[in-house]
Amino acid sequence: MADPQEGRRLAEQVERARSRGYPIMPVDQAGLRRLLPAAEPGPVAAACHAPRDGQVEPGLVVAACRAATTAAGGRLLLGAPARVRLDDDGIRVQVGELVLRPDVAVLAAAPEADLAEPLREPRPARQGRAGQLVVADRVLAEG
């Protein structure tokens, strides 16, 4: 980043992450050129490098997840909305007319989507069929 104020903010975030054991390091302009030899970054007030961080191509990740699910014996059900509910028998997933009773269901949705809200009610533990429902919200970075 070229803005000195933003550069100071980034440097503080890097130091905070490092103090917690996260493998990230500040990088000067020469280090940035070594990491990205084909780039022409222009003026740099601050930069950092986290060797364990990465980015993905979403389409390739979805394709790999579909392949892994199929290889593990799973099915991909397309074309109908799915409804996930907790009832006295555990987890109920309904896709069209098909009703599934999985042991584990993962619902990943952004907090503002309101998709998971009906599932957040505390449920008493019950005997019988084991079931686990994981509601995963997007995690926002600190800072």
pLDDT class for 46, splitting at 50, 70, 90? confident
Give the model's pLDDT for residue 65: 84
Cα separation, 34 vs 45, in Å, equals: 17
Cα separation, 48 vs 32, in Å, equals: 8
Give the model's pLDDT for residue 23: 92
pLDDT digits (tens, 9 = 90+) for 79-113: 888 888 888 888 888 888 899 888 877 665 544 45
Q: Are strands 132-137 and 104-109 parallel, antiparallel or unpaired?
A: parallel
Give the model's pLDDT for residue 107: 64
In degrees to the nearest 10, what's the CA dihedral of 122, 125, 127, 129?
50
Give the model's pLDDT for residue 93: 87
pLDDT class for 140, splitting at 50, 70, 90? very low
